[in-house]
């Protein structure tokens, strides 16, 4: 259920974009994205009993860039939103590493596994550098696609390209951590 809630805004955006029948599908898709982001934030609160910081930040950015897109009828605003979100994510990784002296990737993956795993600090540091660097690159790739290809291509890239790149990053991280997982987790 959490997986569905996490991807609800993206699913709503892409579905409305390709199936709205509108001559300018970006605008109803952006409206759907905004509504789905509100539902996601509330749904997450109902499922977990708390607001997730990521959902709140993404909601604020989505509402701001979505409102600008609808108000000025300029799709560029919502196209920038994806880059802003990944750049803020990269900033959070680096901020936590340098200010709080904590590795966000270690906290995230330990929480996902629901137990502490013994991994050399060198591996955690490598992954904690890889994630923000990759997210910075993802943001620039998003803008390149947004401003050099058709709107419909960008929407497909947002669904498959950006999500695919994050999945590759996640699988690589799991590959790096696999030797250190408890034996029951490996099977």
User: How is residue 29 annotated by DSSP?
Assistant: H
Q: Is 52 helix (H, G, I), strand (E, B) or coil?
A: coil
Question: DSSP for 68-120?
Answer: HHHHHT-THHHHHHHHHHHHHHHHHHHHHHHTS---HHHHHHHHHHTS-----
Per-residue pLDDT of the chain (187 residues; tens, 9 = 90+): 666 778 999 999 999 999 999 999 999 999 999 999 999 999 989 988 999 888 899 999 999 999 999 999 999 999 999 999 999 999 999 999 999 999 999 888 877 777 778 899 999 999 999 999 999 999 999 999 999 999 999 999 999 999 999 999 999 999 999 998 877 655 5
CB atoms within 10 A of CB 104: 20
Residue 5: predicted pLDDT:
79
Q: Which residues contact 163 (CB under 8 A, 6 or more apart)?
A: 10
Task: Tokens for 162, please give them.
Answer: 């950006």
> pTM of the entire structure?
0.90
Give ∠ CA 169-145-23 in degrees, rounded to 5. 120
């Amino acid at each position: 259920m959490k997986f569905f809630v996490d991807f609800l805004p993206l699913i709503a955006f892409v579905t409305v974009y390709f199936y709205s029948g509108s001559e300018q599908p970006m605008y109803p898709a952006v409206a759907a994205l905004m509504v789905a982001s509100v539902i996601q934030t509330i749904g997450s609160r109902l499922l977990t009993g708390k607001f997730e910081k990521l959902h709140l930040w993404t909601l604020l950015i989505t509402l701001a860039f979505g409102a600008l897109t609808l108000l000025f009828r300029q799709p560029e605003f919502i196209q920038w939103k994806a880059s802003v979100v990944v750049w803020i994510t990269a900033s959070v990784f680096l901020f936590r590493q340098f200010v709080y002296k904590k590795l966000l990737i270690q906290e995230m993956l330990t929480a996902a596994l629901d137990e502490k795993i013994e991994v050399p600090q060198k591996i955690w540091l490598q992954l904690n550098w890889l994630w923000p660097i990759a997210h910075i690159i993802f943001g620039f790739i998003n803008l390149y696609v947004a401003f050099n290809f058709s709107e419909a291509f960008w929407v497909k890239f947002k669904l498959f390209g950006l999500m695919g790149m994050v999945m590759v990053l996640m699988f690589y991280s799991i590959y790096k951590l696999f030797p250190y997982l408890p034996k029951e987790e490996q099977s």
